[in-house]
Amino acid sequence: MSMMEKVKSKKMPAFVGPLFAVLILSVVLVIVSEQFLTLDNWMNILRQTAINALVSCGMLMVLLTGGVDLSVGPIVALSSCAMGVMMQRGVTNSLLLILAALFVGILCGGFNGLLFTKLKLPHPFVSTMGARQIYRGLALLITGAAPIAGFPTGVTFLGYKNIGSAKFPVCFVAVVIIFALMGLFLNRTALGRNIYSVGGNKEAARLSGIHVPRTLNFVYIMSGLMSAIAGIVLVGRVGTALPLAGETYDMDAIAACVIGGASFSGGKGTISGTLIGALLIAVIRNGLNLLGAQTDVQFIVIGAVIIAAVFVDVVRGNAEARSRRLAMAKKLAA
């Protein structure tokens, strides 16, 4: 193999493209806004990144199996509202409230998995779309459609607390730790490798001895759990449990994952790419806010980013398919 062929055969890490986009966008925003490069603004960007990154972490695991979870936003709302309702009923222990939120997230994720694996619906898009409406309705029902405030500091700590004079957000420290652990899990454990295998080819995974339904149930449980953690962070940030929170979280999470290299066809995606994708979404939103863009304009821009991310995924998939066909043709000709 020649030196040129060796260079071509080496693939750049998935996060390089999104990271380059973050850098380019940052340079543009530095030029057009004096506030963008300030320390306070960047700490705010990290806070904005945290919630989407947590939801995206769970979404990535689902996408790796070739699925999707459209219920993450309502799970964020329902888990936080469950804490609020318990608090109104006299439960003031922060640990019990947090455990309740995590339990609700796990329960919702498990329900999503069972809808897909037991009812044999054609695609999780259908089951999680229905579950999305159920969870949103439950959040409105148990709260009477009213926000709940007054949480103890043990609950809000993760969302509002900062470290040091730079006011580095604790929630982003938690994100870094969770993403590091999740990266080790996906790449260094048998179950993590099984998730990639199921996404690559479910039938081949089944024939190789992988329990496919159990693996699918696990990723939806993890998606629910990560959404619940995001709900706890959200309560800390705004100080209130909101039954209508998280309306766009599913689209933001999907965009972050696909921008970071994940594919709707499954079997592809990295935890580092997902984190950079979430950061890119936060930088875009922050830049639009600094430029005084109205909410409708922000929806248009983020929608365009999602379409662009899906288009890149399709182009990337077609290119990989062509390269596989060429490689097969070369083998047959040899």
* Helix (H), strand (E), coil (C) string for the chain: CCHHHHHHHCCCCCCHHHHHHHHHHHHHHHHHCCCCCCHHHHHHHHHHHHHHHHHHHHHHHHHHCCCCCCCHHHHHHHHHHHHHHHHHCCCCCHHHHHHHHHHHHHHHHHHHHHHHHCCCCCCHHHHHHHHHHHHHHHHHHHHCCCCEECCCHHHHHHHHCEECCCCEEHHHHHHHHHHHHHHHHHHHCHHHHHHHHHHHCHHHHHHCCCCHHHHHHHHHHHHHHHHHHHHHHHHHHHCEECCCCCCCHHHHHHHHHHHCCCCCCCCCCCHHHHHHHHHHHHHHHHHHHHCCCCHHHHHHHHHHHHHHHHHHHHHHHHHHHHHHHHHHHHHHHC
Q: Are 54 and 101 in contact (CB under 8 A)?
A: no
**Domain limits, the chain:** 38-279+291-313
What percentage of the chain carries pLDDT values higher than 90? 65
Residue 5: the pLDDT is 46
Residue 12: the pLDDT is 64
Neighbour tally for 290: CB within 10 Å: 15
Q: Is the pLDDT of residue 3 over 70?
A: no
- The burial class, CB within 10 Å (0-12 / 13-18 / 19+), for 126 is middle
Banded model confidence at residue 298, pLDDT cuts 50, 70, 90 = confident
Banded model confidence at residue 10, pLDDT cuts 50, 70, 90 = low
Residue 211: the pLDDT is 93
- Radius of gyration, CA atoms only, the chain: 21
Residue 34: the pLDDT is 87
Q: Which residue has better confidence, 9 or 28? A: 28
- Averaged pLDDT, 70-78: 97
Backbone angles phi, psi at 240, to 5 degrees: -145, 145
Q: Is the pLDDT of residue 148 over 60?
A: yes
Q: Domain 38-279+291-313 belongs to what architecture?
A: Orthogonal Bundle (1.10)
- Averaged pLDDT, 105-128: 90
Q: Is the pLDDT of residue 319 over 90?
A: no
Q: Is the pLDDT of residue 73 over 80?
A: yes
How far, in whole angstroms, is CA 22 from its chain's centroid?
18
Q: Is the pLDDT of residue 6 over 50?
A: no
- Averaged pLDDT, 108-120: 92
Mean pLDDT of the chain: 89
Residue 137: the pLDDT is 97
Banded model confidence at residue 328, pLDDT cuts 50, 70, 90 = confident
Of 64, 15, 8, 61, residue with least CA distance to 261: 15
Tens of pLDDT, residues 212-271: 999 999 999 999 999 999 999 999 999 999 999 998 899 899 989 988 888 888 888 999
Q: Is the pLDDT of residue 13 over 90?
A: no
Residue 8: the pLDDT is 44
Rounded to a whole number of angstroms, the distance between the first and last alpha carbons of the chain is 16
